């Protein structure tokens, strides 16, 4: 892939989507949000704002890396610990599980992003990559919510390559991908396979190629996740029309 051309296309895409508005994104300390921050900074310069929204259980390295990135790129930012908000949710929900609390954390973060987007007249920039979107590996109305998404056409393995090309700090490239929804959470631990392996199946599916040479468990995992999470990629269902009621 021509990453020089790709970077140029993505920067122009961001400029066009931004128009005369500011941009805001959530910086997690992971590679996806780091790449989006680099691209947005190149596209809109000082019209970029970041929210860092850890819990006290979040990986400290992620927060440190996010802060390092803000300082390196001179991005305006604010840190908001979301523990108190989550604890209030936990008081009223029944039988909370780790996954449900993780989803709540993702939705709290997105609620804050949209509130600050109103404050700063800014558009919320998404940070989900194509692999996550195809697999449904994200929280609907949480980290999947955004005004536009620069990485939506890039597989996770391509995001890593773009990060290397752009000179993103090696801390982001070396660490295991994680949504940091609970302690020691890891994308690849949850999914059972590394992204480069999953991406090969996803690319084959996209290109309508045979899957016969792939491991059976791998194939089944990808196909089941895509089927079970297809609703996350669709707009809400509505009645087609009401003309016949007149």
Is 31 marked as binding a ligand?
yes
Is 156 marked as binding a ligand?
yes
DSSP states of 59-118: -HHHHHHHHHHHHHHT-EEEE---HHHHHHHHHHSSS--HHHHHHHHHHHHHHHHHHHHH
Is 138 marked as binding a ligand?
no
Q: Residue 98 to residues 13, 19, 105, 183: CA-CA distances in angstroms?
A: 37, 39, 10, 10
Is 132 marked as binding a ligand?
yes
Spatial CB neighbours of 23, under 8 Å, sequence gap ≥ 6: 14, 40, 43, 44, 47, 48, 49, 122, 123, 125
Which H or E run contains 49? strand 48-52
Is 233 marked as binding a ligand?
no
Task: Evaluate whether 55 touches 83 at the Cβ level (below 8 Å).
Answer: yes
Is 127 marked as binding a ligand?
yes
Cα four-point dihedral sign 170, 35, 3, 188: positive
Q: Can you tell me whether residue 208 is helix, strand or coil?
A: coil
β-pair type (76-79, 22-26):
unpaired
Is 79 marked as binding a ligand?
no
C-beta neighbour count of 56 within 10 angstroms: 8
Is 27 marked as binding a ligand?
yes
Is 128 marked as binding a ligand?
no
Binding residues: 26-33, 107, 127, 132, 156, 178
Which residue ranges make up the annotated binding site for deamido-NAD(+)? 107
Residue set of the binding site for Mg(2+): 32, 132
Instruction: Write out the binding residues for ATP.
Output: 26-33, 127, 156, 178
């Amino acid at each position: 892939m021509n990453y020089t051309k790709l970077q140029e296309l993505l920067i122009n895409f961001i400029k066009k989507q931004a128009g005369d508005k500011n941009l805001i994104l959530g910086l997690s300390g992971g590679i996806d949000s780091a790449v989006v921050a680099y691209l947005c900074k190149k596209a809109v310069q000082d019209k970029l704002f970041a929210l860092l929204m850890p819990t006290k259980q979040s990986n400290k390295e992620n927060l440190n890396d996010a802060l390092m990135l803000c300082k390196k790129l001179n991005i305006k930012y604010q840190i908001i610990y979301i523990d108190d908000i989550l604890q209030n949710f936990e008081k009223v929900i029944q039988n909370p599980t780790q996954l449900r609390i993780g989803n709540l954390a993702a939705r709290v973060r997105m609620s804050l992003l949209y509130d600050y987007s109103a404050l700063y007249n800014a558009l919320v920039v998404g940070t989900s990559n194509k692999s996550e979107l195809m697999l449904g590996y994200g929280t609907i109305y949480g980290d999947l919510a955004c005004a536009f998404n620069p990485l939506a056409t890039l597989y996770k393995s391509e995001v890593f390559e773009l990060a290397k090309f752009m000179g993103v700090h090696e801390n982001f490239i070396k660490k295991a991908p994680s949504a940091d929804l609970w302690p020691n959470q890891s994308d690849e631990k949850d999914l059972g396979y590394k992204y480069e392996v999953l991406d090969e199946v996803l690319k084959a599916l996209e290109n309508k190629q045979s899957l016969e040479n792939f491991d059976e468990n791998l194939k089944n995992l990808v196909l089941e996740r895509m089927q079970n999470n297809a609703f996350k990629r669709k707009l809400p269902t509505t009645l087609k029309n009401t003309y016949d009621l007149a």
